[in-house]
């Protein structure tokens, strides 16, 4: 379900303002596509400090974001003459594709994000308007919402079970499992097996099995 009746008045002017001093969250699917495009392993993107972990204020789960450069500019932003362009545009993260909207996975709807709109006033104050469905279609974002929802649902379930930095203190075995889960989710794929898509079903099943085994033994 999407808000097809609502209209978006947003047309990118390539000012680059959305890519300055901004927090871009990443799903494992985003990381996989970017790493694949760059012909790198996901783990290398963390080692090179292109991606970093931030603690989510809602789940207290450690989730990846794009690490801004020292001048607070996205490492994938490139200036050509007076225009700014994304060097990974075709593989850009879900959050970038739906900008300036935000997605509510619980209700499967897209919402206006006033903070994002204020970031790029010259782009969001356009007199031209299109429906949200058309905007999502234009940015190839609609099909990515289901994978993002799968990811968010898993993170929220793990957090509720105590797999978050707020509740792991003093629980060494659970901490060890938590970081094992992090590594599998975000840093393992693409692997040397040459996956063409992120193996979500396999990853989710492994994590659920690990959690069930831990809980049955502890």
Residues sharing a CB contact under 8 Å with residue 121, sequence separation 6 or more, in sequence order: none
Arithmetic mean of pLDDT, 107-121: 88
pLDDT score at 4: 52
pLDDT score at 63: 96
Q: How confident is the model at residue 3 (pLDDT cuts 50, 70, 90)?
A: low
Kindly tell me if the per-residue pLDDT of 42 is higher than 80. Answer: yes
Arithmetic mean of pLDDT, 112-128: 84
Point out the least confidently predicted range of 1-10, 41-50, 133-142, 154-163: 1-10
125's tokens: 């104050």
Instruction: Give the residue, 213 or 112, on which the prediction is more confident.
Output: 213
Burial of 126 (0-12, 13-18, 19+ CB in 10 A): middle
Percent of the chain scoring above 90 in pLDDT: 75
pLDDT score at 5: 58
How confident is the model over 141-182, as pLDDT tens digits?
988 999 999 999 999 999 999 999 999 999 999 999 999 999
Closest CA to 186 of 20, 39, 23, 54: 54
pLDDT score at 9: 83
Give the global pTM: 0.94
Arithmetic mean of pLDDT, 124-141: 86
How confident is the model over 63-81, as pLDDT tens digits?
999 999 999 999 999 998 8
> How far is it, in rounded angstroms, from Cα 13 to Cα 116?
15
Closest CA to 8 of 140, 134, 107: 134
Arithmetic mean of pLDDT, 17-46: 96
Kindly tell me if the per-residue pLDDT of 2 is higher than 70. Answer: no
């Amino acid at each position: 379900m999407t808000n097809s009746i609502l209209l978006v008045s947003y047309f990118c002017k390539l000012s680059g303002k959305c890519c300055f001093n901004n927090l871009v969250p990443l799903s494992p699917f985003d990381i996989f596509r970017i790493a694949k495009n760059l012909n790198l392993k996901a783990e290398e993107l963390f080692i090179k400090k292109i991606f970093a972990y931030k603690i989510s204020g809602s789940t207290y789960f450690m989730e990846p974001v794009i690490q801004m450069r020292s001048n607070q500019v996205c490492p994938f932003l490139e200036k050509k003459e007076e225009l700014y362009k994304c060097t990974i545009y075709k593989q850009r993260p879900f959050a970038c594709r739906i900008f300036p909207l935000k997605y509510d996975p619980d209700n499967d709807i897209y919402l206006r994000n006033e903070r994002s709109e204020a970031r790029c006033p010259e782009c969001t104050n356009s007199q031209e308007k299109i429906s949200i469905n058309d905007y999502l279609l234009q940015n190839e974002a609609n099909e990515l919402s289901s994978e993002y929802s799968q990811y968010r649902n898993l993170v929220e379930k793990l957090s509720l079970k105590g797999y978050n930095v707020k509740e792991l203190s003093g629980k060494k075995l659970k901490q060890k499992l938590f970081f094992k889960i992090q590594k599998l989710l975000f840093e393992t794929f693409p692997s040397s097996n040459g996956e063409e898509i992120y193996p979500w079903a396999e990853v989710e099943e492994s994590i659920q099995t690990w959690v069930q085994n831990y809980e049955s033994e502890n």
